[in-house]
Structure 1
Amino acid sequence: MGAVAGGFRGFATYFKGIMGADAYTKYLEHHTATGHADAPMTEREFWRDRTDRQDSNPQGRCC
């Protein structure tokens, strides 16, 4: 049963990556790794900024 649960968690992580749900986590990791002096955006600010950038600069995407 543990292997099935582990496989499901792996698939869920993979699927979140494809859908972009892990973008904020990646942003925080990048923000920390590059040594920014200012505080990172909150999750709400991040998603608002990302949506605004996508709306102002549309690229090929499914939706």
Structure 2
Amino acid sequence: MRVSALLRAARHVRWYIRELTDETAYERYVTHARDRHPGASVPSRREFERMRTARQEKDPRQGFRCC
């Protein structure tokens, strides 16, 4: 197998894992916020994660808690 094919496969695996673990949620949020609200400030990654966790804990349908 060529090195370029291995690199391409590694990129696909990395993309899949990041999507599966929702690591790209903040990046998608920033893109959305800048497209829809260009003048608004975008929260930091830490603030985004806090807002996201609070929203998930508030809604029992999210399945965030086990009990």
TM-score, normalising length: structure 2: 0.79
Which whole-Å CA distance do the structure 1 matches of 2:31 and 2:40 have between them? 14
Larger Rg: 2
Report what 1:27 is aligned to: 29
**Number of residue equivalences:** 62
C-alpha RMSD of the superposition: 1.6
Task: Could you tell me which runs of 5 or more consecutive residues in structure 2 were left unpaired when the two chains were aligned.
Answer: none
Identity of aligned residues (%): 31
Question: Stretches of 4+ moved more than 3 A in 1?
Answer: none
Q: Structure 1 residues 15 and 40, CA, compared in 2 at 3 Å: closer, same or farther? A: same
Show CA shifts across 1:9-62 (max 9, x none).
11111221121100000000001111342200100000011011111113246x
Alignment of 1:7-46 (within 5 A): 7-46=9-48
Query: Which structure carries more relative contact order (alpha carbon 8 Å, separation 6+)?
Result: 1
- Alignment pair present for 1:55 and 2:36: no
TM-score, normalising length: structure 1: 0.83
